Amino acid sequence: MCDLEHKQRVSFLPGRPLPLSSLRLLVPPLRLVSAALWQVVQRRDTMDYGLVEEFVTTVLEITPDLMSYREKVQLIMGLRAQLVLELCRSDHSADPETIQPHLSRMRTCIITHREKEIDTEVEASESNFLELVQTLLDDPLEREHFFQDVFPEEFGPMYDTALQSLMWEFLSRLEKLLPTPTFQQTASWLRPAPSMLKECAQSVTQPQTLKTLLQHHRCHGHLFANGIDLVNI
Tens digit of pLDDT for each residue in 87-134? Answer: 999 888 888 899 999 998 888 888 877 766 677 888 888 889 999 999
pTM comes to: 0.77
- Distance between CA atoms of 17 and 4, rounded to whole angstroms? 19
The chain-wide mean pLDDT, for the chain, equals 81
pLDDT at 82: 96
> Cβ–Cβ contacts within 10 Å for residue 147, how many?
15
Domain spans of the chain?
20-182
Residues of the chain with pLDDT under 70: 1-16, 115-117, 193-194, 196, 200, 202-233
In 3D space, the residue among 30, 24, 78 whose CA is nearest the CA of residue 176 turns out to be 30
- Distance between CA atoms of 81 and 105, rounded to whole angstroms? 10
pLDDT at 7: 43
pLDDT at 12: 42
pLDDT at 6: 43
Contact 84, 103 (CB under 8 A): yes
- Distance between CA atoms of 219 and 233, rounded to whole angstroms? 27
